[in-house]
Amino acid sequence: MTAFWALWKREVVKFFFDRGRMGGALAQPLLFWLLLGLGFQGSFRLREDAGISFLTFLFPGMVLLVVVFTAIFSTVSIVEEKRSGFFQAALIAPVSRWWLVFGNVAGGTTLGILQAALFLLFTPLMGIPATFLGMVSALLICGLMGTAFGSLGFVMAWKVKSTRGFLALMNFFLMPLWMLSGAFFPISGIPETIQWVAWLNPVTYGLDALRIAMYGFGNLPIHTILGFWPSVGIFLSFTLLTLFGAQYAIHKPFTD
């Protein structure tokens, strides 16, 4: 536990001492949301009975994007720390390697939750009928998302040789996963030939649960995929899979 708290604190302190990273962490997704929401407002049409704007529809997807990008890009430092000798020293310490994984992943997850909480302050402005239980549930789901993608980022960072390779690989996977999760457009509106990709996408179920929670478990203006608990169950399974994947990776020699 001492190792866990040390690594967790290390990740959080690094973030708060990097002013550029702090500013861009919220400014970039906020700008992205406004540009996409306002730019495509007239191009995307939801159901006539939905009664929401495209900005409102896009909002849960942007919360997801904040958490996922924060968690997964917090692991980019692992690539450099393998070369600096930090992980060589950590691996020979008399500490279970589980705690090395948990400490790094928990740090990025915490940062993702904090940023999501700030982003959720805009919820009343969107006309979303949020409740206290719904917001708490949304933050817990954000914690699951951060853990899953922080673990995935850990595996990738452990394997790649350079920061450029890590960023290229993550962008290659992240944007398609996000866009095919129902964050940018309803899954019912995409061609049936690629709908199966969205059904196989674990982010789809994380977003489904997040959207339901943000609306206070009430009537949503759009159809959900499976409902709250089935979606949570599927995404929880994905989270555990990525955690075990990170644990498996750290027991293998890393690429330096």
- Decide if pLDDT at 218 tops 90: no
End-to-end distance of the chain based on CA atoms, in angstroms?
27
pTM across the whole model? 0.88
Tell whether 256 is covered by a domain. no
- Number of folded domains in the chain? 1
Which tokens belong to 241? 């899979």
- Decide if pLDDT at 48 tops 60: no
- Decide if pLDDT at 230 tops 70: yes
Tell whether 243 is covered by a domain. yes
- Decide if pLDDT at 49 tops 50: no
pLDDT for the residue 20: 64
pLDDT digits (tens, 9 = 90+) for 156-174: 988 888 888 888 888 888 8
19-39 and 2-16 helices, crossing angle to 10°: 70
DSSP-assigned letters across all residues of 36-50: HHHHTTTT----TTT
pLDDT for the residue 255: 57
As a residue count, the chain comes to 256
Tell whether 71 is covered by a domain. yes
Tell whether 136 is covered by a domain. yes
Q: Domain containing 189: what range?
A: 2-250
pLDDT for the residue 168: 86
Tell whether 255 is covered by a domain. no
DSSP structural state of residue 63: H
Q: What percent of the chain has pLDDT over 90?
A: 28
The dihedral through the CA atoms of 17, 20, 23, 26 has a sign that is: negative
Tell whether 210 is covered by a domain. yes
DSSP structural state of residue 130: -
